[in-house]
A and B are shown apart, each in its own frame.
Chain A
Amino acid sequence: GAVVSQHPSWVICKSGTSVKIECRSLDFQATTMFWYRQFPKQSLMLMATSNEGSKATYEQGVEKDKFLINHASLTLSTLTVTSAHPEDSSFYICSVPGRQYTEAFFGQGTRLTVV
């Protein structure tokens, strides 16, 4: 299966600054990647679908200007949280679907804390 690497694993930033999270598919070319947000004791909430070479598709209620997604290559997608606020503190997870969506492979997640 695909190996998905997410960086950084955790980050603390000041309110008002921007944070970039990288998601790399190490051994699998991914035209699509998913970005999720996970709150404590809650499910993974799909934020957006990242599409290589085109604009990301955002889920309802997710601010595309705040959560910038760039999928510049078949192995890298980035999520930038712009002008972060404490309420953006969460666990962000990226995922790469397998061939024909027979499985989803996950990064280890990024714990973002905004102070």
Chain B
Amino acid sequence: AQSVSQHNHHVILSEAASLELGCNYSYGGTVNLFWYVQYPGQHLQLLLKYFSGDPLVKGIKGFEAEFIKSKFSFNLRKPSVQWSDTAEYFCAVNTGNQFYFGTGTSLTVIP
């Protein structure tokens, strides 16, 4: 069965620090990859997605992610985090008509 792994369960950073959240998936076929963010008390929102083309994709709010096919990875990055980035981050994989989510990473940014 397909699975999505997020290795960092809880990350605490100071403002202006750089962020990288890991995401690995297990599926040998063609996949679409997503990062969603869930701010406290809000619904999940799309940060960015990758379907094909340039493996480095840029999303909203300064986030980017790099698809490395050989490593089955889609890590999320941001060069300088802000307090407002405090949220839960979910990596997701779409294979055909199903979405599979990682366990999520809770990011806390300290002002």
- Known A-B contacts A32-B97, A42-B103, A107-B43; A102 and B90 likewise in contact (beta carbons under 8 Å): no
Most chain B beta-carbon neighbours within 10 Å: one of A4, A97, A106: A106
- Known A-B contacts A42-B103, A42-B104, A97-B97; A106 and B43 likewise in contact (beta carbons under 8 Å): yes
- Contacts A1-B46, A101-B99 known; list 11 others, CB within 8 Å: A4-B43, A41-B9, A43-B4, A43-B101, A43-B103, A46-B98, A46-B100, A102-B32, A102-B51, A106-B43, A106-B45
* 6 cross-chain pairs, A with B, having the tightest CB-CB distances, nearest first: A108-B43, A106-B44, A43-B103, A44-B101, A106-B43, A43-B101
Point out the residues of chain A lying under 8 angstroms from B99, CB to CB: 34, 46, 95, 97, 101, 104
Interface of B is mostly: strand
14 interchain pairs (CB within 8 A)?
A: A32-B97, A34-B99, A43-B4, A101-B32, A101-B97, A101-B99, A102-B32, A102-B49, A102-B51, A103-B49, A104-B36, A104-B99, A106-B36, A108-B43
Point out the residues of chain A lying under 8 angstroms from B43, CB to CB: 4, 93, 106-109
In the assembled complex, the Cα of A32 lies from the Cα of B97 at a distance in Å of 10
Point out residues on B near A: beta carbons under 8 Å.
4, 9, 32, 34, 36, 42-46, 49, 51, 90, 92, 94, 96-104, 106
**Contact present for A44 and B96 (CB under 8 Å):** no
Q: Tell me how far the C-beta of A17 lies from the nearest C-beta in chain B, rounded to whole angstroms.
A: 26
In the assembled complex, the Cα of A81 lies from the Cα of B42 at a distance in Å of 23
**Contact present for A41 and B96 (CB under 8 Å):** no
Q: B96's closest neighbor in chain A, by CB?
A: A101
Point out the residues of chain B lying under 8 angstroms from A4, CB to CB: 43
In the assembled complex, the Cα of A34 lies from the Cα of B92 at a distance in Å of 14
Q: Tell me how far the C-beta of B96 lies from the nearest C-beta in chain A, rounded to whole angstroms.
A: 7
Most chain B beta-carbon neighbours within 10 Å: one of A44, A95, A102, A103: A44
